[in-house]
Amino acid sequence: MTKTFSELGLNDALQKALRDQNYTTPTPIQTAAIPHLLEGRDLLGCAQTGTGKTAAFALPILHNLGLAWDTKLTPKQTRVLVLTPTRELAIQIEENFRAYGKYMNLKHAVIFGGVGQTPQVKALSRGVDVLIATPGRLLDLIQQKYLSLSGVEVFVLDEADRMLDMGFVHDINKVLKLLPHARQNLFFSATMPPDIVKLSNTILKNPIKVEITPPATTVELIQQSVMYVDRKHKSDLLRHLLKDNTLDRVIVFTRTKHGANRVVEVLEKNRIPSAAIHGNKSQGARQKALENFRAGKVRVLVATDIAARGIDIDDISHVINYEVPNISESYVHRIGRTARAGTSGIAISFCDAEEKAFIRDIEKLIAQPIPVDTKHPYHSAEIAEARTMSSGKAKAAIEGNRGGGRGRRPPGRRFGGGGRGGPSGGGGRNPSSRGSRDARS
């Protein structure tokens, strides 16, 4: 039976804040995780953004901090550390802590790279209850003695798989060495490949395990279609669809950064306000693009899977897969952006000859066929009728054609077994996104 937030044992101040947010019922991950986290247990959570995972950890953390509300803060220390891979996520998590904790008198701060450190140093000077940080800047400030982790009571590692994808493993290990031995640990990852399981084993003690698999449930709410179109006509098809004003807040997904840039160029030439977010953009540029998109100043956001992951934007009218992802889970994550918090949405996939194989894989994963939409001027009967090649061949053909040459991501594993590698999209780890700290996505 569905529980209420009060049945989960959260204090009145938190329940009031949740009412302000119009949250009526806990999401499955919240129901599963909160009671154990209130008891101080460690947690291994296999879940991604969109499941309500932030509240699943923020609420019990705030509740427990509230039990010791009169604890004096120690200068340059924090009681809770949330480590997250990107600036965008750090900001979002802090916003959530602020919203849920608005009737509690707790101090929190957020630190990330790519901006001046002075305000962050100031925020830490008298100590905080909750600190949300990206790894690079965190370690920089520790090295400069503006912060110590010796008082951490709760450690949250968010989006662990993405952290490793981004090359943060050494930073994480450094942070772990600086934490006190006795602490509560929460570990979240969207996928559970072997390196993540290994990392979690070094951090967690007798954790409870919570796995939330959104695929089928989210997918059902979304009106999906596939449009067969020659690669050379994809931009024409996009322009054609955007003539319809009901497509008012659209995310267009491409597999690569170059692809994203090309789409933005076409849209700009046609005076359609758009912006791209991907790892080659500066932090400032990405943040600005997101703000403009949220504010409705930009109608189309063009993104790669990695850059878009974890970004929380409500009311997306349409997701357009300009390129079909070759990792089926990415499809589910992409289209899930248009069905946030139970609303329905529309997802359209542009499929060229080689991508038919990926559509077939996706249909297997979501266990339903994706209806073909032929009612557009660029429909290719040839592609519709062509035999579907194997996904391996399709991948090789695409990499050959587009000079991709990116490595295949090793298969991942969910708790229940079975699932394939993660939603990093783009066909694998991207060596070019490693190297600089915090400024990536």
Sites of contact with ligand AMP (CB under 6 A): 23, 26-27, 30, 49-55, 312, 340-341
Structure tokens at 288: 């600005």
User: In terms of CB distance, is 239 or 340 closer to ligand AMP?
Assistant: 340
Provide Rg for the chain, Cα atoms: 22
SS3 content of the chain, % helix, strand, coil (to 5): 40, 15, 45
Residue with token string 């996009």: 238
Closest approach of Cβ 300 to ligand AMP, in Å?
21
User: In terms of CB distance, is 53 or 429 closer to ligand AMP?
Assistant: 53
User: In terms of CB distance, is 149 or 192 closer to ligand AMP?
Assistant: 192
Neighbours of 139 (CB within 10 A): 18
User: In terms of CB distance, is 44 or 55 closer to ligand AMP?
Assistant: 55
Structure tokens at 171: 């930073």
User: In terms of CB distance, is 11 or 54 closer to ligand AMP?
Assistant: 54
Give the burial string for 97-114 (b: 16+ CB within 10 Å, else e): beebbeebebbbbbbbbb
Structure tokens at 32: 């599963």
Within 336-385, residue ranges assigned H as helices are 356-366, 381-385
Closest approach of Cβ 10 to ligand AMP, in Å?
11
Closest approach of Cβ 89 to ligand AMP, in Å?
9
Closest approach of Cβ 100 to ligand AMP, in Å?
9
301-to-237, 253, 263, 313, 435 alpha-carbon distances in Å? 17, 8, 10, 11, 26
DSSP, collapsed to helix, strand or coil, labels residue 392 as helix
- The angle that helices 391-402 and 356-366 make with each other, rounded to 10 degrees, is 140
Nearest to 153 by CA among 127, 174, 172, 173: 127
User: In terms of CB distance, is 110 or 264 closer to ligand AMP?
Assistant: 110
User: In terms of CB distance, is 24 or 105 closer to ligand AMP?
Assistant: 24
Closest approach of Cβ 59 to ligand AMP, in Å?
9
Closest approach of Cβ 214 to ligand AMP, in Å?
10
Closest approach of Cβ 353 to ligand AMP, in Å?
36
